[in-house]
Amino acid sequence: MLGARWRRGARAGRYGTGVTSELSGLDDAQRGLVARWFGEVEVVADLSWGLTSTRVLRLRRADGPDVALKASGPADHHLVREIAAHEEVLAPLVAGGRWPRLLHADRERRVLATAWLDGELVEGTRAERIPDTYRQAGRALADLHALGSRVDGDFEAAADARALAWLDGPHRLAPDVVEQLRRVIRAHEHPPVRVVPTHGDFQPRNWLVDASVVRVIDLGRAEWRPGMTDLARLARQQLAAPGALRDAFVDGYGAPWPDGAAWRRVLVREAVGTAAWAYLVGDAEFEAQGHRMVAQALAADQPDR
């Protein structure tokens, strides 16, 4: 899920007699779940991003660790993905302390509670410029990708269909750019690919650092995909060029940096989705990044071989 940030200066509040209607953004059924799961709580901070219906709260309870609570409306499918990742995939990694631990979840009511992970967001801090951050992140990602694999004969065609659907919807990409993107996407080959559990938004805004230990949060885009898809956002940001940061990531991940036709397909689709999604939710800065990603992907694209 794009947006759940361990943000400085977040709004806090205390609720003295259990969960009340002051948990704004949660409906009655969601508040009832929180009350049944945890009883009396203190809302330490509201960490919601504000661009979607999803609320992200840090709760303090009398007995047990703090809680990261997420609740969304029926139109937001990201939280259901995140719950599925916790319930079906992530459990073997939790003991290492680098991934959130599931406490409670309800897919029907779209509520997720995990044990709070201490740390500061890597994005915008000194840690974002330190090679060891990327070495640890690479190891964490390798651990996730090692949890399973299978061959998917439909992934490539489905991914291109989603990209074309984004182009059919509202966005601010120029008509000539859209036409070029359509030509590129329609020329893609669709071979069977090996897919693994992926994070979907793997980048420093979803990493924490605490006492030099890197942790990973926010699996709202989790899905079975080719592992290289988790490198797409880094490839257009912190790891855009070869250097010490990329070398450290590759060292931690244990596999070469991707290249070739499959990688170019990933970058084109990622660029289209970023530009269109950011426009849809009104994130101008992220939309501008998406437009840059589109230009870069088109410049790098070559016919599939």
Domain region containing 31: 11-117
Q: Are residues 106 and 125 in the same domain?
A: no
| Per-residue model confidence as pLDDT tens digits over 9-50 | 344 433 333 444 367 789 999 999 999 999 989 899 999 877
| Contact criterion met (CB below 8 Å) for 167 and 276 | yes
CA proximity to 272, closest of 196, 175, 174, 173: 173
Query: Which CATH number belongs to the domain containing residue 125 in this structure?
Result: 3.90.1200.10
Based on the structure, what is the number of domains in the chain? Answer: 2
Q: What is the pLDDT of residue 20?
A: 41
| Per-residue model confidence as pLDDT tens digits over 244-261 | 999 999 999 999 999 999
Structure tokens at 204: 């420093």
Q: Are residues 40 and 163 in the same domain?
A: no
Q: Are residues 95 and 128 in the same domain?
A: no
Q: What is the pLDDT of residue 51?
A: 66
Q: Are residues 193 and 245 in the same domain?
A: yes
Mark the ranges of the chain whose per-residue pLDDT is less than 50.
1-5, 8-21, 304-305
Structure tokens at 192: 């069977």
| Contact criterion met (CB below 8 Å) for 229 and 263 | no
The answer as to whether 1 is a domain residue is no
Query: Which CATH number belongs to the domain containing residue 97 in this structure?
Result: 3.30.200.20
Strand order in the sheet with 41-46: 11-13, 41-46, 55-61, 67-71, 111-115, 102-106
Structure tokens at 133: 């951050």
Choose one of 117, 133, 148: the last residue of a domain: 117
Q: What is the pLDDT of residue 21?
A: 38
Q: Are residues 170 and 293 in the same domain?
A: yes
Q: Are residues 161 and 293 in the same domain?
A: yes
User: SS3 of 161, please?
Assistant: helix
Q: What is the pLDDT of residue 7?
A: 52
The answer as to whether 3 is a domain residue is no
Choose one of 61, 83, 117: the last residue of a domain: 117
